[in-house]
Amino acid sequence: MKKEGKTYGWELVLSHNLKSSITTGFYKGTESSKIFECLKLLQKCILDIGHPMLLPILICTRDLNMEGDLRQREARETVRVLEKIITNAAQVYTDPDVTKQEKIDLGLINKDLVDCHCKVLWKRPEAYLEIVSTMQDALADLHDHWPDEMRPQISSQHLELAARLRFLRVKLQGISTYRQVTIARLEMLQGLVQNLVSLSIARSQKKMTMKRIERQQTHRLEEIKEEDQKARRKREKELEDELENQKSISIALVGVFFLPGAFLAVSFTS
């Protein structure tokens, strides 16, 4: 498989001749599989190298070293930290003071959850349990078909390899249970984060709706204010026109009363 542009994993194909006790095979792997380290371990076991299952069990044991256990423990510690962070975030989101929510980055929390989930899923123990089961079947077949003259020579080594496979199976079953609990807690946290995201979106939409309503109300108030100003200017203009009319009427009345007398006065003097 590939991860971040790099190839990981290993592949081993073996064929053992029971008559000649010669094992031939094909083994390939990347640097992460520690292929040279496994071959060096095989050379150190020169007295037991006649057993064809020695190399695959060495490879599987090397691949299931403490790194996997430490990875699962680190993931569980990360889950504990994320549980505290998400619990605090949930308390903040239930607080009426929405300004506190700006200090919480749900995107970053979700990224940490995804990274932790990927770390837990790395090197699934269920896949290695299948490999161990296949090796146990192959070991049992060898034991059934082993020539009688070879049995005393490899019997003790055969029992040691069978015990090693049983140990690996029990170890993988424990890791699988531990991992399933971690995954269940991660899924619960992811569900809680999704609820917080939905709550944040709902509150944002509500806030936008309130702002839109406020803008509409402000616009309406401005329209009402403008209409009031127009009505006031209209009333002022009507009042001015009324005053002008009253002035005109007053002047007309003055003319009616005084102009005839003035006309008569002018007439007598001439």
Write out pLDDT tens, residues 146-160. 777 677 777 778 888
pLDDT at 267: 47
User: Does the residue 4 lie in any domain?
Assistant: yes
Average pLDDT of span 109-120: 86
User: Does the residue 14 lie in any domain?
Assistant: yes
User: Does the residue 12 lie in any domain?
Assistant: yes
User: Does the residue 266 lie in any domain?
Assistant: no
User: Does the residue 25 lie in any domain?
Assistant: yes
User: Does the residue 11 lie in any domain?
Assistant: yes
CB 133 within 8 A of CB 140: no
User: Does the residue 101 lie in any domain?
Assistant: no
Phi/psi at 152 (5° precision): -60, -30
User: Does the residue 42 lie in any domain?
Assistant: yes
Q: Which of 36-40, 77-81, 107-111 has the lowest mean pLDDT?
A: 36-40
Query: Is residue 136 classed exposed, middle or buried when 0-12, 13-18 and 19+ CB atoms within 10 A define those classes?
Result: middle
